[in-house]
């Protein structure tokens, strides 16, 4: 599975950024709230207008239909959204619930009645179900206790080992950043800089 490349890429509010995340590599991103972390991830997923180009391997985002690009990109927003009433309707097949400490009964629950931590773990499973080639994670463990945080980290990194997906991981937690990534970036004054 190929690398993620950004060339002169900017979500309009940030300065242009050149970045390569290699196959199997995890790069972490931090910065004060409102600094543009989510905007960067949204732009890579092509949800917002932006400048510059993003590639996965040899395929440029703007050279393919947007839905096709978004299927290759696994972007996990900070808050997950659910458009049907029941949890299970959002999944095409039964996901590996027990790996993240969930049981099958939750598929028959109403989205409104499950906790934010359960929603977050389900969102990770939903995102991975489409077999994305790169992962853009916006605080994937923000609502989780330490135990479930480790479960989710483990599950995501296992997916990466299996698929070689490059990961851009936004995290507020310095320890988590050290656990999951080797290169670390920070947004400072509209610039993405390595730390």
Partner 1 sequence: MTLITLTPFDLALASSLVLLLALLSWRMQLGVERQLLIAALRSAVQLILIGFVLKLLFAQSNPFFIGLLALLMLSVAGFEVMSRQQRSFTGLWGYGIGALSMFLSSFSVALITLWVILQPDPWYTPQYAIPLLGMLLGNTMTGIALSLDNLTRTAWDKRHQIEAQLLLGHDARQAISSIRRDALRSGLIPIINSMAAAGIVSLPGMMTGQILAGSPPLEAAKYQLLIMFLIASGTGLGSMAAIWSGSKRLFDERQRLRLDRLKKR
Q: Which is nearer to partner 1, 126 or 184 (CB)?
A: 126
Contacts (CB under 8 A) with partner 1, residues 118-157: 126-127, 130
CB of 61 to partner 1, least distance (A): 9
CB of 85 to partner 1, least distance (A): 12
Q: Which is nearer to partner 1, 116 or 195 (CB)?
A: 116
CB of 131 to partner 1, least distance (A): 11
Query: CB-based burial of residue 164 (10 Å sphere; 0-12 exposed, 13-18 middle, 19+ buried)?
Result: middle
Q: Per-residue x/- marks for partner 1, 61-90, CB under 8 A?
A: -x--xxxx-xx-x-x-x-xxxxx-------
CB of 30 to partner 1, least distance (A): 23
Q: Which is nearer to partner 1, 79 or 154 (CB)?
A: 79
Backbone angles phi, psi at 127, to 5 degrees: -65, -45
The two tokens of residue 144 are 């989780």
Asked if residue 57 lies in contact with residue 2, where contact means CB atoms within 8 angstroms, the answer is: yes
Alpha helices in the chain (DSSP H): 37-44, 66-72, 116-129, 146-163, 174-180
51 binds partner 1 (CB under 8 A): no
37 binds partner 1 (CB under 8 A): no
d(CA 147, CA 119): 16
Q: Which stretch binds partner 1 (CB under 8 A): 43-51, 142-150, 153-161, 172-180?
A: 43-51
# of chain residues touching partner 1 (CB under 8 A): 23
A 10 A CB-CB count for 129 gives 16
46 binds partner 1 (CB under 8 A): yes
**Which of 102, 103, 99 minimizes the C-alpha distance to 155?**
99
> Which H or E element spans position 56?
strand 51-56
d(CA 180, CA 153): 8
Q: Which residues bind partner 1 (CB under 8 A)?
A: 45-49, 62, 65-68, 70-71, 73, 75, 77, 79-83, 126-127, 130
């Amino acid at each position: 599975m190929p690398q993620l490349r950004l060339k002169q890429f900017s979500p309009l509010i940030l300065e242009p950024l050149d970045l390569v995340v290699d196959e199997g590599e995890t790069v972490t991103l931090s910065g004060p709230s409102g600094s543009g972390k989510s905007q960067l991830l949204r732009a890579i997923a092509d949800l917002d207008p932006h400048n510059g180009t993003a590639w996965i391997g040899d395929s440029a985002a703007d050279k393919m239909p947007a839905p096709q690009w978004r299927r290759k990109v696994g972007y996990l927003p900070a808050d997950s959204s659910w458009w049907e009433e029941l949890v299970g309707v959002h999944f095409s097949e039964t996901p590996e619930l027990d790996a993240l400490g969930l049981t099958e009964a939750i598929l028959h629950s109403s989205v409104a009645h499950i906790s934010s931590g359960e929603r977050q773990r389900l969102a990770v499973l939903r995102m991975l179900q489409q077999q994305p080639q790169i992962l853009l994670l916006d605080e994937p463990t923000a609502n989780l206790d330490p135990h479930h945080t480790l479960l989710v980290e483990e599950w995501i990194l296992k997916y990466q080992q299996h698929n070689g997906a490059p990961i851009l991981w936004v995290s507020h937690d310095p320890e988590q950043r050290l656990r999951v990534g080797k290169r670390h970036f920070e947004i400072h004054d509209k610039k993405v800089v390595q730390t």
